[in-house]
Structure 1
Amino acid sequence: MNERDYLHKLLDSLPDLLAALILEGQKNIKSIAIIPRDYHFEDSLNYVLVGLRRAGKSTLLFKRAQDLVDKQNVDWSQIVYLNFEDERLDGFQLADCNNILIAANQLTTKKHYFLFDEIQNIAGWEKFARRLADQGESVYLTGSNSKVLGHDIVLRLGGRYMTKYVAPFSFTEYLTAKKIPHDKLSVLDTVNNGQIRAAANEYLCYGGLPESIILTDKRNYLTSIYQNVFLADIIVRNKIRNEKAISLLLRKIADTVIHQVSYATLYKNIKNMISTVSRNSIIDYIDYAKDAYLLFSTKNYFAKFSERESSPKYYFTDNGILNLFYLDKLPALLENLVAIKLHNKYQENLFYLKSQKTGIDIDFYVPASKTAIQVAWEVNDTSKEREVGNLIKLADNFDEVENLIIVTHGEEAEIQQEDKIIQLMPLYKFLLMR
């Protein structure tokens, strides 16, 4: 008897199993101490939480449950939490989903609040999620793959859910987790300022995955997370046979952080080592890594649409994972961290600027705030000419830019040249900016 037939035979007991899991979830969520994060939920909306594995999506679900109970007088019996990576739900399918409602109503007939972790493990789950929304239920979903939980799925859900991207800890959340004060007055305090700077250095190298903060052996933990994302969310989910090719590709992308790189260049580099790989496979592999929230990209604001798509700059969504590929590349880590902060705030409205005609080469451009940003580990005589020169040239030729910033590791100054002012900003201050 296969697993599915066995489950059917025990169908009458499935609601009891689900009720037991729901009660277990309520008990666990009650006992968890949660660090506040900078996310807000509207009571009238349903949500799909997406992002990298271990970035904190489940914890946000738990915090939402706690807030519903503590601040809105919801009873714990109304909280229906299930994690579909629980091995006790192996074999669970769409046809079984109505048993969740039966189990929930065994516990209470009051309004329910459904919190489902990694729901993409159930084929066709969106039909059940849409039915819940159509019936006026409150639903919160999480998943680690944009291919099945991204903008397309929101459309398939009939516009009844809002997508919320959950990133690893921002620097302010990181400081909160480490119990380091970071309000304006605390930043001015000498001792506290030293702690903030030290935390910025640690954050630069090990990133913001929440569970890594309290660990001594951060590198091994980050390695396990990367392997899990690589194998489960990229290789297995997309049924990739050429595991070596995509492994080499991700290493090449790590090497190209801070540089624009074309599909053709990446294909050529991988083809030299693995003759069986195709250009289309390289494009697909990159998409899979982005779907798993391992990578994101920025495009050249000055380029034509076709060129924007074919020659982006790639970054990793967590510095700790990127640093697994490096021995000593602090300047690349610095730019990647600046990219993370900007991307988390502006998403697709973040660009770089590069023009062969004018010679302008700017690391980041944010149209929404009319800001151009360069990144340099330090501004010495050599780098000053390049970084400052590019910003001045941009300001002289591009009226849309009003704010000019150079993010450094630790330097702080104001550079005035002609009628232009450039803010030289240390990393920790940039990371604390709202």
Structure 2
Amino acid sequence: MMNREILKSVIFDQHEIIRNADIVHRRYFLDSQANYVVTGLRRAGKSTLLYGLVQDLVARGVDWRRIIYINFEDERLAEFTLSDFNDILVVQSELSDEEGLFFLDEVQNIDGWEKFARRLADSGRRAYITGSNAKMLSTQIETTLGGRYLTRYVTPYRFDEFLDATGKQYDEAAVYSTSGKGAISAAFESFYVDGGFPESLRYGMPREYVESVYQKVLLGDIVARNNVRNPQAMRVLMKKVAETVHNEASSTMLYGMLKGVGYKVSKDSVINYLAMAQEAYLIFPVRNAVAKFIEREGNPKYYFTDNGLLNLFLSKKEPALLENEVAVAMLDRYGDELCYLKSPKNGIDVDFYVPDEGLAVQVTYSLSESANPREVGNLIKLAQVDQNVRRLLIVTKEEDGSIEKDGLKIEVIPAWRYLLELASK
């Protein structure tokens, strides 16, 4: 049985943390009359999102003693198991005669948590749950919860949120004025290199903070939780994945890359490691829109969920970071509709393609003479064979304008402007 005095200490200590939290408004809305599972990369801002909701509830008159907020990464709960969940209800009844509001943070640490979550919902109690593992949104979990919870996937700051958090204006006047554009462009320099982890803004050296997050994800969320027997191979695999940004990366290719540097792991292990990294929201795949089914599963492009993470691995980094940031922003906007397109039959190679939107996007650091034929030529070929394509776009680091060729118009747009456009949709 869990020591209930410890549970009370955890709850009241958390109240103090929430009272003192400085909340930056995020794009996510949580209905106070619904139950939620909030998931996403570690340190992306899931807990802070709940802190903001608690502050709003208290501002509307909810008594603090009704707020049962438990962070399951608190070391005082290291021995907590499924059988201890009922003690949370007992403690809540001791704190208040009114119905409790339950906030269970990083609850994936407790095996079987979904049974308690379902019990809360079935009894009419309001509950908000966070976790850093994609298995929390698996079909099995969704079946167990039976539609009783809404889901929210939270990312690190997107560029508009980064500007909000750093006090930069990006309204129409700022976007079109010389000084405003300069300030936004300068902010993007920091954002696309260091990434968007909210707490990293407090650090003079954000890279060190991002490194600590990466180690926690790798060693805690991946290696320890999955009992990975060769942690060093997992480390090297993530470095090799980073080196493939821009390109297709089959498990066979990555297996060969590991073997080439002396790591004797099986191909099945490589496949499992990639799945673990995706479950921890470290990386995500973008599929080929025109490949056969088996190729779609085996030959994605992999991107990192935050540029700060990718930046840990690269030396020649600018082009890869630019494409990675566009991939993250487009995934946030289009979800599983986002593809790339590589067709040996037509010789077409397009970085990003959203068929339902009729959108084709190439990303290049600079539209130099050497880059121009590839970026422009592939978009033109695609438009000539796919009548559904309505917008052709080249995203660059700084260049702006348009290109007219073969009766088609191709927009050229700086990345910061495109990220703001995506955020406004």
1:280 is matched with which residue? 268
Q: Once the two structures are aligned, what percentage of the paired residues are identical?
A: 46
**Mapping for residues 116-195 of structure 1, pairs under 5 Å:** 116-195=104-183
Q: Deviations over 1:298-319 (max 9, x none)?
A: 0000111111001000000010
Match of 2:362 among 355, 374, 393: 374
For 1:219 and 1:42, locate their aligned partners in 2 and report how far apart those are by CA, in whole Å: 35
Is the 1:93–1:122 Cα contact (8 Å) retained in structure 2? yes
2:325 is matched with which residue? 337
* Structure 2 counterpart of 1:181, one-letter code: Q
Q: Which range moved further: 54-63 or 98-107?
A: 98-107
Match of 1:34 among 23, 28, 33: 23
For 2:416 and 2:115, locate their aligned partners in 1 and report how far apart those are by CA, in whole Å: 45
Unaligned 5+ runs, structure 1: 1-7
* Structure 1 counterpart of 2:131, one-letter code: G
Q: Deviations over 1:176-222 (max 9, x none)?
A: 00001111122223222211101101111000001111211111111
For 1:116 and 1:324, locate their aligned partners in 2 and report how far apart those are by CA, in whole Å: 31
**Mapping for residues 211-290 of structure 1, pairs under 5 Å:** 211-274=199-262, 276-290=264-278
- Give the C-alpha shift of residue 77 in structure 1: 2.2
For 2:63 and 2:334, locate their aligned partners in 1 and report how far apart those are by CA, in whole Å: 37
For 1:381 and 1:273, locate their aligned partners in 2 and report how far apart those are by CA, in whole Å: 36
For 1:283 and 1:202, locate their aligned partners in 2 and report how far apart those are by CA, in whole Å: 34
* Structure 2 counterpart of 1:41, one-letter code: L
For 2:179 and 2:165, locate their aligned partners in 1 and report how far apart those are by CA, in whole Å: 18
Q: Deviations over 1:286-331 (max 9, x none)?
A: 0000001000010000111111001000000010110010122200
Is the 1:415–1:423 Cα contact (8 Å) retained in structure 2? yes
SS in 2 for 1:288: helix
1:113 is matched with which residue? 101
**Mapping for residues 53-132 of structure 1, pairs under 5 Å:** 53-70=42-59, 72-132=60-120
RMSD (Å) for aligned C-alpha atoms: 1.4
**1:275–1:204 distance in 2 versus 1, CA, 3 Å:** closer
* Structure 1 counterpart of 2:245, one-letter code: V
Is the 1:150–1:163 Cα contact (8 Å) retained in structure 2? no
For 2:9 and 2:258, locate their aligned partners in 1 and report how far apart those are by CA, in whole Å: 50
SS in 2 for 1:381: coil
2:389 is matched with which residue? 401
Is the 2:233–2:263 Cα contact (8 Å) retained in structure 1? no
* Structure 1 counterpart of 2:53, one-letter code: R
For normalisation by structure 2, the TM-score amounts to 0.96
* Structure 1 counterpart of 2:373, one-letter code: E
- Give the C-alpha shift of residue 51 in structure 1: 1.0
For 1:340 and 1:143, locate their aligned partners in 2 and report how far apart those are by CA, in whole Å: 20
For 2:191 and 2:140, locate their aligned partners in 1 and report how far apart those are by CA, in whole Å: 33
1:5 is matched with which residue? none
Q: Deviations over 1:230-279 (max 9, x none)?
A: 10011101101111211111111100001012111111111233353111
Unaligned 5+ runs, structure 2: none
**1:38–1:148 distance in 2 versus 1, CA, 3 Å:** closer
Match of 1:19 among 5, 8, 11: 8
For 1:43 and 1:61, locate their aligned partners in 2 and report how far apart those are by CA, in whole Å: 11
2:34 is matched with which residue? 45
How many residue pairs match? The answer is: 422
* Structure 2 counterpart of 1:432, one-letter code: L
For normalisation by structure 1, the TM-score amounts to 0.94
Is the 1:144–1:293 Cα contact (8 Å) retained in structure 2? yes
